[in-house]
Amino acid sequence: MKDNWRDGNEVKLLINGEEFFPSVFECIRNAKEEILLETFIVYEDEIGNQLQQELIAAAQRGVSIDITVDDYGTWDLSQEFTDALTAAGVRLHIFDPQPKLWGVRLNIFRRLHRKLAVIDRHIAFVGGINFSADHLISSGEKAKQDYAVKVRGPVVADIHQTCMLLLLRASSRKERSKYIQTARAAEPPVAGEVRALMVERDNGAHSRDIERQYLLAARLAQQRLIIANAYFFPGYRLLRELRRAAQRNVEVILILQGQPDMAWVTALSRLLYNYLLRSGVKIYEYCQRPLHGKVALMDDKWATVGSSNLDPLSLSLNLEANVFIDNEAFNQQLYEHFNQLVNNHCKKLNIKTALRGLWWRAPIIFLSFHFLRKFPTIMGWLPAHTHELKLVTPSKDFTDSEKNHITQTAGESIEVTNAIFKNKQGYEKYSFAKNKSLNESYKKKGLSKESIS
C-alpha cells in the first residue's frame, strides 16, 4: 500500500489541555463555514460546557457543525446539554448507541476513539486529548499528560475526508445526501515545510495501517526510537521488532505509565518488561501524573501524534487516527520534551526490578505472548458490527421558547460557569452564560441554584 505523504504543511505540537483547548476554541470562534469534530469523551465540566457554548455561538453565525461522540465514552450527557446544542442547529451524532444492561455499559469493543477536529477545511487538530477538564494540569494530581497537533496545509484535506467518510458510511440515506457534496474538500494551500501523513485505523481496509507505521519505524530506525504510550500491550510482531532494533544498537526507549489511571493496564504492560529489557530496550515509567499520550519519534525526522494506544483495543478494534510527521524541527522539539520527562519525572526500570515475582508471573507471560500473537485472528472471528450514528434531536418537552432563548443568549457571553439546578428530576449539572436575562428566566421557572467550583 502506498502512503499518501503530503508536502507543504505546518504542524504545531500542543502539550496538555492548557495549550490544546485555547487553540481549538479560538478556531471554533473564528469558523465561518464548517466545523467537523470527533471525540471519544465530552464531559459536562468547565471544558465541555465551554465547548457547548462555542459551538452554539458558531451555529448562530450560520456555521455548519457536525460533532460525533462515542456512546461508550460520552454516555452521561444530560438532556439539557444536548437540547441546547441541537436547538441551536448543531448536528450531534452518537457513534454505535447501545442500550445498557442494568445500567452497565457493555459496548466496550470497536469504539470511536479518535480525536479529530477540522475547521473550515483549512485547520485540523489530531491527538489524544478529550474534551474534559482532567486534561488540565490545574485539575489536580489526576490530570492527564497528553498531546495533540494543530495542522494547516494539504494534509488537512485527508483529515477532512476521514471525518466525512464516517458521516457518509454511518448515517441514514436521508442524512447521507447532505454530506456527499462536501465529502472531498478542495486541497488547502501550502502552509509550511512539513511533510505529513494522515493514517486511520478502522475495521475495514485500514485495520493494520497505524501498526504498520510503527513496525516500519522499528525496522528502519538507525539511531533512536522513543515511544511514549499510555496503554502498552502491543502485538507480538511489534515487540519482536523493538527487540531487534535494540539488538542492532538502536537506542529504544519506552516511556510508560508509572501513575496509572487504570492500574490493571499497567500490570499487563509490566508482564512484558523482562522480555524487552533483556534485549537492551530502556523502559521508564512516568510518575508525575497519569500518562495519556500516544506519541513517538524515530531518528531525527520521523514522529507521530494521535489517538492510538499500543494495545489490543486500539490496534485491532477501535477507530483511531494518527498524524505521522517527517520534519527535523518537530522531531527535535519532541525529543527535547521527552528528555525533560525522562530526566525530571520518570523512574528507570532494570532487570532486577523486572525479575521480581517472575516465578508466579512466568505462566501468565507465556499465555500473554501467545494471546498477543493470535489476538487479531481471534477478533476476526467475532461479528463486526456496522458503523452506526444516531442523530440526536431536541426532546419533546423542549419548547420553542426555550430553543429561542438559548440561541439568543449563547452569543452574548462565552464565559461559562457551572451551576446545579434542583428540580423534579433531581440534580442536573447545567451551564449558562453570565448575564441577567438568562438568570432571570431560571428564577421565573422556580429553579433553585447552588454554585459549584
For residues 321 and 381, give the distance between their C-alpha atoms in angstroms, rounded to a whole number.
Answer: 24
Residue burial 28-52, b: 16+ Cβ < 10 Å; e: rest: beebeebbbbbbbbbbbbbbbbbbb
Catalytic residue from among 93, 113, 345, 387: 113
Q: How many CB atoms lie within 10 A of CB 317?
A: 22
Q: Is 142 a catalytic residue?
A: no
| Cα Dmax for the chain | 73
Catalytic residue from among 66, 83, 96, 120: 120
Q: Give the DSSP H/E element, type plus range, for residue 197.
A: strand 194-201
The DSSP secondary structure of 246-285, one letter per residue, reads HHTT-EEEEEEESS-SSHHHHHHHHTTHHHHHTTT-EEEE
Q: Is 449 a catalytic residue?
A: no
* Phi, psi dihedral angles at 161 (to 5 degrees): -65, -35
- For residue 261, count CB atoms less than 10 angstroms from its CB and return exposed for 0-12, middle for 13-18, buried for 19 or more: middle
* Phi, psi dihedral angles at 319 (to 5 degrees): -85, 120
Q: Is 93 a catalytic residue?
A: no
What is the grid cell recorded at 198?
A: 494522515
DSSP 3-state assignment of 36?
Answer: strand
Distance from CA of residue 417 to its chain's centroid? 25
For residues 145 and 147, give the distance between their C-alpha atoms in angstroms, rounded to a whole number.
Answer: 7
Q: Which amino acid is at 339?
A: N
Q: Is 113 a catalytic residue?
A: yes
Catalytic residue from among 45, 261, 299, 326: 299
Which residues are the active-site residues? Answer: 113, 115, 120, 292, 294, 299
